[in-house]
């Protein structure tokens, strides 16, 4: 991604001064207030990370919908009003399209309040090693590095252009975690074991191989369907957990863990659509047709996301409602 247009970092040795530093600091303060207003950033350590990591250095250019398709906003725009618009937009509590290829979104910067909720739910502590699947802009890795130290953070992405861009953004902000190009579905054995794994891309299932790269008691947080599953790792072939309350929409994972051929996404509902019912249909995959999923959802009292969970055990993986051994369970694709 081009168009960094003079942005640098006041914290990176030898880099040019950041011409947006003062205005960006004010925008970050406003961003933190917006995130706090929706109930996130209760942990002072994460509040400090969001307040101090210069988000604008990670989105020197992004795309917004325009009358003729995507419109590009960037830090080097010769028009001062458009530069100001870019800076304000970089700190809004919304997802940003950062990479578009042939009209298709391939990378984005996640909504800051969702990132805050995910990091707080992931709950890494001092000395923990974290693997991130999906490098994106590098901003999430910088937040993790601020909290844990860069040496405890590894981020992996399949796309070399994305990892190169993330590495440059991180360096401009004074952070140097391990940024590797590879298939995130396979994890990163050379830097294992991990205390936490977090995916920032939608997945059809949890790659079973991740579990062997975790320490006992580790947590895995990943987007499934339109939700966020938080698993506790019990051993190299056993993990279990429930979904968080929040909905979440991410760019799909590419590579070995991508949706297998023949597995369909949830079809549109033939009746009144509800986001929670859509979550169930996406989670159940081919096991339930949309009308069946909607009927079950109503029959079970319109269950909220926290009543659903996922279990990996002895080579099997399944999603469930209320009880891993209960009557409502659906197989998920297995990835070694």
DSSP string over 184-221: GGG--GGG--EEEEEE-SBBSS-BTHHHHTEEEEEEEE
Give residue 207's pLDDT.
95
Q: Which residue has the higher pLDDT, 287 or 229?
A: 229
Q: Which residue has the higher pLDDT, 1 or 294?
A: 294
Residue 25 lies in a domain: no
Residue 74: partners with Cβ closer than 8 Å, 6 or more residues away: 3, 5, 60, 61, 62, 86
* pLDDT, the chain, mean: 88
pLDDT of 244 > 70? The answer is: yes
Residue 128 lies in a domain: no
Residue 35: partners with Cβ closer than 8 Å, 6 or more residues away: 41, 50, 93, 112, 113, 116
Determine phi and psi for 177, rounding to 5 degrees: -75, 175
| CA atoms of 237 and 249, how far apart (whole Å) | 28
pLDDT of 184-221, one tens digit each? 999 999 999 999 999 999 999 999 999 999 999 999 99
| Given 75, 107, 113, 165, the catalytic residue | 107
Parallel, antiparallel or unpaired: strands 194-199 and 214-224: parallel
Give residue 333's pLDDT.
85
Q: Is 113 a catalytic residue?
A: no
Residue in this structure with the two tokens 């252009």, named with its chain if needed: 161
Residue 297 lies in a domain: yes
Give residue 263's pLDDT.
41
Provide the number of structural domains found in the chain.
1
Name the token pair of 253.
């994972």
Domain that holds residue 288: 258-331
Residue 269 lies in a domain: yes
Q: What is the pTM of this model?
A: 0.89
Give residue 252's pLDDT.
81
pLDDT of 271 > 70? The answer is: no
Alpha-carbon torsion angle 89, 94, 98, 100, nearest 10:
-120
Give residue 265's pLDDT.
41
Answer for the pair 121, 244: CB distance below 8 angstroms, yes or no: yes
Give residue 2's pLDDT.
28
Residue 307 lies in a domain: yes
- Bridge partners, 63 (sequence order): 72, 97
| CA atoms of 73 and 336, how far apart (whole Å) | 41
Beta carbons within 10 angstroms of residue 275's beta carbon = 9
Residue 275 lies in a domain: yes
């Amino acid at each position: 991604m081009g168009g960094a247009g003079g942005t640098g970092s006041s914290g990176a040795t030898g880099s040019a001064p950041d011409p947006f530093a003062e205005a960006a600091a004010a925008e970050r303060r406003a961003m933190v207030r917006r995130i706090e207003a929706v109930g996130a950033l209760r942990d002072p350590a994460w509040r400090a990370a969001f307040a101090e990591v210069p988000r604008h250095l990670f989105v020197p250019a992004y795309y917004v919908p325009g009358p003729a398709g995507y419109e590009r906003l960037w830090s080097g725009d010769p028009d001062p009003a458009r530069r100001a618009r870019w800076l304000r937009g970089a700190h809004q509590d919304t997802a940003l399209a950062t990479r578009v290829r042939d009209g298709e979104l391939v990378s984005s910067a996640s909504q800051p309040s969702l990132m805050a909720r995910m990091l707080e739910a992931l709950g890494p502590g001092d000395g923990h090693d974290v693997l991130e699947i999906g490098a994106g802009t590098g901003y999430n890795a910088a937040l993790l590095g601020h909290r844990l130290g860069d040496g405890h953070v590894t981020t992996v992405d399949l796309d070399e252009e994305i990892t190169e861009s993330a590495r440059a953004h991180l360096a401009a902000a004074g952070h140097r975690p391990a940024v590797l190009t590879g298939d995130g579905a396979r994890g990163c054995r050379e830097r294992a074991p991990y205390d936490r794994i977090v995916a920032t891309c939608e997945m059809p299932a949890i790659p079973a191989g991740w579990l062997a790269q975790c320490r006992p008691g580790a947590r895995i947080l990943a987007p499934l369907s339109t939700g966020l599953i938080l698993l506790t790792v019990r051993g190299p072939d056993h993990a279990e957990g429930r979904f968080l309350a929040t909905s979440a929409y991410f760019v799909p994972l590419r590579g070995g863990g991508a949706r297998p051929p023949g597995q369909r996404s949830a079809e549109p509902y033939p009746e009144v659509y509800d986001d929670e019912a859509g979550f169930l249909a996406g989670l159940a995959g081919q096991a339930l047709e949309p009308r069946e999923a909607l009927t079950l959802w109503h029959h079970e009292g319109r269950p909220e996301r926290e009543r659903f969970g996922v279990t990996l055990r002895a080579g099997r993986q399944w999603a469930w409602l209320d009880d891993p051994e209960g009557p409502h369970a659906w197989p998920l694709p297995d990835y070694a």
